[in-house]
Amino acid sequence: MPDDVVLNKVASLERCIQRIRQVYSLNDQNLYENLMAQESILLNLQRTCEVSIDLAMHVVRKRRWGVPRAGTPLNCCGPMDIWTAN
């Protein structure tokens, strides 16, 4: 069964990315001068970062991976498929 939190976070990411593309495509010629378009793009970039961090924290908590040890590479655990249920 899909995790609703993951689905909502992914949907939010998709909306933000779609909005960035939309604003950029409408203003690609005069983006340097259009502060509203710049602010919209930056706000949505910030939201994508925040949602990505929230999503990662949610997955770590649900999988009970705990706090990473310093210097431990992420690939040491093998493939981590976050879309399959445990």
Side chain identity, residue 25: S
Task: Determine the pLDDT at residue 71.
Answer: 63
Q: Is 31 exposed, middle or buried (0-12, 13-18, 19+ CB in 10 A)?
A: middle
Token pair of 69 as six digits: 């040890």
Residue 2 has pLDDT above 60, yes or no: yes
Task: Determine the pLDDT at residue 13.
Answer: 98
Inter-residue long-range contacts of 6-11, CB under 8 Å, 24+ positions, other chains counted: 6/55, 6/58, 6/59, 6/82, 6/83, 9/51, 9/54, 9/55, 9/58, 10/55
- Global pTM reads 0.73
Task: Determine the pLDDT at residue 86.
Answer: 47
Side chain identity, residue 40: S
Tell me the per-residue pLDDT of 51-63, one tens digit each, with 9 for 90 and over: 999 999 999 999 9
